[in-house]
Amino acid sequence: MTLFDTHAHYTDNAFHKDREELLGKLLPAAGVGTVVVPGVDVESSRSALALAEEYGYIYAAAGLHPEDCAGAGEAELEEIRRLCQHPKVVAVGEIGLDYYWAENPSKEFQREIFRRQLALAREAKLPAIVHDREAHGDSLSIVREFPEVTGVFHCFSGSPEIAAELVRRGWYLGFDGPVTYKNAKRAPEVVAAIPLDRIVIETDAPYLSPVPHRGKRNDSRNLPYIVEKLAEWKGVTPENMAEVTFENGMRLFPKIRP
Ligand code: NI
């Protein structure tokens, strides 16, 4: 089966020792056919694009993450806009709201940077990769302000009701390692409630390793654990789930050409 990892941070320092071997050999050999590497600030967005230029199956997203947007202003937003014009930058991301960490930039500032980047996505006609942690209400209401913009809510953790509204508005939902955790209660309900053609898979590498590798560094070779769990919840075969999520990823990121 060919797998599409729609969210992996291969620019992260956790990969500095073996990035070349992993991206050059190990992932393609494991059936990983396409990977999107999101940026979290200007620097990592540039690094993500550098990886995309080096490896044919890798694509980049450019964006300012809510945890990393402190001090961002016109210059940073302008650079994100510029990067989005590159043929291998296929989305604006990772952007959104994170109300979990007390040391994050203020909620008000996060919302402003989120809105500015949704406006960039609208202008560039690109999908957005949204991070929403403990900020479901505000994330949804801001997304409603930009009806022309769709994309993916990555590592979706909201309710079935929010999932249903996002799907209605044309969004995809991304699922990763936590679906394999024993305490995954909402995810089965959400997955049952949304159509198969709106589900994409992701690792969020190096974070969120699925069981049985929980706690260790994550990479796209762990996607089959996520595929299996989603297939079980949806009552399809893992092969079918892999195929459908691959096609969904291609539809989500129209700039990627086979
Ligand atoms: Ni991420």
Which pTM was predicted? 0.97
* Residue 66 in this model has a pLDDT that exceeds 80: yes
CA of 136 to the centre of ligand 1 (A): 17
CA of 36 to the centre of ligand 1 (A): 11
**Ligand 1 mean position, distance from CA 204 (Å):** 5
Region 60-75 average pLDDT: 96
**Do the beta carbons of residue 131 and residue 9 sit within 8 Å?**
no
For residue 40, the CA-to-ligand 1 centroid distance in Å is: 8
- Taking the centre of ligand 1 as the mean of its atom positions, its distance from the CA of residue 205, in whole angstroms, is 8
Distances (CA, A) of 50 to 10, 46, 134, 163: 11, 6, 32, 34
Q: What is the mean pLDDT of residues 100-116?
A: 96
How many Å lie between the centroid of ligand 1 and the Cα of residue 66? Answer: 11
* Residues at Cβ < 5 Å from ligand 1 ion: 94, 204
Cα–Cα separations (whole angstroms), residue 68 to 56, 96, 100, 104, 162: 28, 11, 13, 8, 26
The two three-digit tokens of residue 6, written as one number: 């729609």
Distance 235 CA to ligand 1 centre (A): 28
> What pLDDT, on a 0 to 100 scale, did the predictor assign at position 191?
96
Q: Looking at the chain, how many residues does it have?
A: 258
Distance 68 CA to ligand 1 centre (A): 12
Rounded to the nearest whole angstrom, what is the distance from the C-alpha of residue 234 to the centroid of ligand 1? 25
The rounded distance, in Å, linking the Cα atoms of 63 and 128 is 9
Do 56 and 78 meet the contact criterion of CB atoms below 8 Å apart? no
Quote the tokens at residue 143: 């997304």
- As a whole number, the mean pLDDT across the chain is 97
pLDDT of res. 1: 83
**Cα Rg of the chain, angstroms:** 17
Neighbours of 107 (CB within 10 A): 14
Q: 38 alpha carbon to ligand 1 midpoint, in Å?
A: 7
Taking only the tens place, the pLDDT of each residue in 3-56 is 999 999 999 999 999 999 999 999 999 999 999 999 999 999 999 999 999 999
Task: Give CA separation, 67 vs 110, 130, 233, 257, in Å.
Answer: 8, 13, 32, 31
Ligand 1 centroid – CA 157 distance (Å): 14
**Residues whose CB falls within 8 Å of the CB of residue 130, separated by 6 or more in sequence, listed in order:** 93, 94, 95, 96, 139, 143, 151, 152, 153, 154
189 pLDDT above the threshold of 90: yes
Taken in order 88, 33, 149, 61, the sign of the CA dihedral is: negative
